[in-house]
Amino acid sequence: MNLSVIRKFVQATAFVALVYGVPLGIGGFYLADNLSNALPALACVYDKETADHCALISLQHQMDHRVAPMVASGGSFIQAIMPTLITLGTFLLLFVILNKAFCGWICPLGTFQEMMTIIGQKLGLQQRQTVSVGANKKIRPIKWLMLAFLIFFFPLLAGFGVVGHELGSPFCSICPSRILTTLATGDTSEMVVDSSSDGYMMLSLIATFGFGLMMAIGLTLRQPFCRICPMLAMHAVFKKLGLVRLVKEGATSRCEKCNLCTKACPMDIELIATELEKRDVLTADCTLCGRCVEFCPDKGVLQMKYAVIPILSADPAYFKKRKQSQSNWEKSNLLAWWQKRKSGRGAS
């Protein structure tokens, strides 16, 4: 039993609750559509059984159907943006509770990607434990571009009539969670190529291809879509307000040589190891999964805190057991079993 095992249990529970919430009696239309349509995780509105709605669908629709039309007609700007402010306010109320841990512990799409990694490991596929620093620097701006253009800019243009209606909610049209959560409930209606217009056809092709690509890459690379997800960018904007923190204390030059925290990080955040002065190491890409704290061998150097209360602190004894369990886990896979079986046959 370790933090990663506990997190997997929380993720599985959250997945069931969010994807199948309505038939389980956990939520309903009123709860999802009127109370909490600002969840800081990708719980898709297109899933008819969902117990909650992702904030990104609300923001896109408000830009398209509320803000742009009211501004174009000369209406009150305050009235135009009031629903957006309410959505952001609700988002913040929820976000403050768990901060970016919504990504690492709650998000259905994040859970699915981790399951793909586990399948890849058990099949014996080579895992790319790290992405180079240079590649990371090129990838990281994508989530900000997606937030700016797909959540706000193109929906606004659609509302003004500058671009087609298909760009009124462009992110939802290509979001892998839309396909994942609907397929999980037996609904195949989103796994199609929409030929009603050239724009819808292009978006549906991108969505279908992107979902398959995410699954394929996920077998060898951890959290491929999380790295470009606009929800992660939304979290980064408000991360200073969240109560869950990632803190580094007493760092030395040994941290840069050790680098075990970065290797354990599913997002390949090198700053966790290289930062030697700042206490706050909660970066824009962090999902607060806690793996860096688990794999830090120096007592108390890395800590997860809830406000000022320590939740988890690096500990040499815990690290030793955790590293051993991880090694055993990685050694146990289908390819290793097959090679062992073949060598046994050759010896006999």
Let me know the angle formed at the C-alpha of 291 by 286 and 292, rounded to the nearest 5 degrees: 75
Residue 40, pLDDT score:
94
Instruction: Taking residues 64-93, report their average pLDDT.
Output: 93
Please check whether residue 112 is in contact with residue 179, taking contact to mean a CB–CB distance below 8 angstroms: no
Domain end residue (candidates: 233, 262, 297): 233
CA distance 343 to 336: 11
pLDDT at residue 27, rounded to an integer: 64
Whether residue 341 is contained in a domain is answered as no
Q: Which long-range contacts (CB under 8 A, 24 or more apart) does 255-264 make?
A: 255/298, 255/301, 258/297, 258/298, 260/295, 260/296, 260/297, 261/292, 261/293, 261/295, 261/296, 261/302, 262/130, 262/292, 263/129, 263/130, 263/295, 264/291, 264/292, 264/294, 264/295
113 vs 248: CA distance, rounded Å: 28
Q: Are residues 113 and 156 in the same domain?
A: yes
Query: What average pLDDT is seen over the chain?
Result: 90
189: CB partners within 8 A, 6+ apart: 182
Q: Which of 233, 254, 275 is the last residue of a domain?
A: 233
- Choose the final residue of a domain: 193, 213, 233: 233
80, 212: one domain: yes
Q: What is the DSSP letter of 168?
A: G
Does 123 fall in a domain? yes
Label residue 33 by pLDDT band (50, 70, 90).
low
Residue pLDDT, tens place only, 233-267: 999 999 999 999 999 998 888 888 888 999 999 99
Instruction: Assess whether 255 and 182 both reside in one domain.
Output: no
Are 22 and 53 found together in one domain? yes
- Find out whether 134 and 206 touch, Cβ atoms under 8 Å: no
Residue 338 domain flag: no
- Structure tokens of 22? 């309505």
Q: In which band, very low, low, confident or very high, does the pLDDT at 232 lie, cut at 50, 70 and 90?
A: very high
Please indicate, yes or no, if residue 218 is contained in any of the structural domains: yes
**pLDDT tens digits, 42-74:** 999 898 888 888 999 999 999 999 999 999 999
* pLDDT range class, residue 347, cuts 50, 70, 90: low
**In a shared domain, residues 170 and 42:** yes
Instruction: Based on the fold, state whether residues 157 and 54 are members of the same structural domain.
Output: yes
- 151 and 55 share one domain: yes
Q: Coil, helix or strand for 240?
A: helix
**What mean pLDDT is predicted for residues 166-193?**
94
In a domain, 229, yes or no: yes
Whether residues 195 and 317 fall in one domain: no
Residue 249 and residue 131 share a domain = no
Residue 91 structural domain: 3-233
Indicate if 226 and 268 belong to the same structural domain.
no
Residue 80 lies in a domain: yes
**Residue 333: predicted pLDDT:** 79
Query: Do 76 and 149 belong to one domain?
Result: yes
290 within some domain = yes
In a domain, residue 213? The reply is yes
Q: For residue 16, what are the CA distances in angstroms to 1, 20, 43, 51?
A: 22, 5, 11, 10
**228, 252: one domain:** no
Q: How many structural domains compose the chain? A: 2
